[in-house]
């Protein structure tokens, strides 16, 4: 019976690593295969070091553009998806429960892709013109939920 401490890989499957810097008889003594003098002989050179020239990351321009800090991101739901739901009154909570909108989406916008075959009563934060005409032509109603806006702080006068 083989004991756990007797287990070892098949002969020749594992090659022992070369022990460098262990005397002239090892074949990799003295400088340990690093050559004589220079940065690589003394320590590590970091991955993106380019020998003192201006690094690529600093040569390239930074990304342009601007992302507004208070931008409003909507979760989109198409009119065709609402038609298949089977509910007549639909609000944000119902859309999240049905999985049509992610939980992380704070605001919901109804878009006009698809057809409406029944009367729908909707509550959403925004509605596209195409969706509005399709829903209202089908005899449905849309109630817009207000989006709170942040007031800008007044600048103080320097004294």
In a domain, 136, yes or no: yes
Predicted confidence at residue 153, as pLDDT, reads: 66
End-to-end Cα spacing for the chain: 89
Among candidates 102, 100, 103, which has minimal Cα distance to 114? 100
Number of domains observed in the structure of the chain = 1
Using one digit for the tens of pLDDT, what is the confidence trace for 108-145? 999 999 998 889 999 999 999 999 999 999 899 999 99
In a domain, 97, yes or no: yes
In a domain, 5, yes or no: no
Using one digit for the tens of pLDDT, what is the confidence trace for 55-108? 998 999 888 888 888 888 899 999 999 888 888 899 999 999 999 998 888 899
For residue 138, what is the domain's CATH number?
A: 3.100.10.10
Predicted confidence at residue 34, as pLDDT, reads: 92
pLDDT exceeds 80 at position 156: no
- Supply 111's token pair: 């878009």
Predicted confidence at residue 4, as pLDDT, reads: 94
In a domain, 125, yes or no: yes
Q: Where residue 159 falls among pLDDT bands split at 50, 70, 90?
A: low
CA 32 vs. chain centroid, Å, equals 45
In a domain, 121, yes or no: yes
Range of the domain at 124: 74-144
Average pLDDT over residues 6-14: 88
In a domain, 112, yes or no: yes
In a domain, 45, yes or no: no
More confident residue, 91 or 159: 91
Quote the pTM value. Answer: 0.55
Vertex 117 angle, CA 98 and 73, to 5°: 45
In a domain, 12, yes or no: no
Residue in this structure with the two tokens 């800090």, named with its chain if needed: 69
Distance CA 129, CA 124 (A): 14
């Amino acid at each position: 019976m083989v004991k756990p401490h007797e287990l070892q890989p098949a002969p020749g499957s594992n090659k022992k690593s070369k022990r460098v810097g262990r005397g002239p008889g090892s074949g990799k003594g003295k400088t340990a295969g690093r050559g004589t003098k220079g940065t690589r002989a003394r320590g590590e050179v970091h991955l993106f070091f380019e020998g003192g020239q201006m690094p690529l990351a600093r040569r390239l321009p930074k990304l342009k553009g601007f992302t507004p800090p208070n931008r409003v991101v909507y979760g989109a739901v198409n009119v065709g998806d609402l038609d298949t739901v089977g509910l007549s009154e639909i609000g944000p909570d119902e859309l999240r429960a049905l999985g049509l909108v992610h939980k992380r989406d704070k605001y919901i916008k109804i878009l006009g892709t698809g057809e409406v075959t029944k009367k729908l009563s909707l509550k959403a934060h925004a509605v596209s013109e195409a969706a509005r005409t399709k829903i209202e032509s089908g005899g449905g109603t849309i109630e817009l939920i207000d989006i709170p806006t942040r007031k800008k702080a007044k600048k103080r006068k320097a004294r």
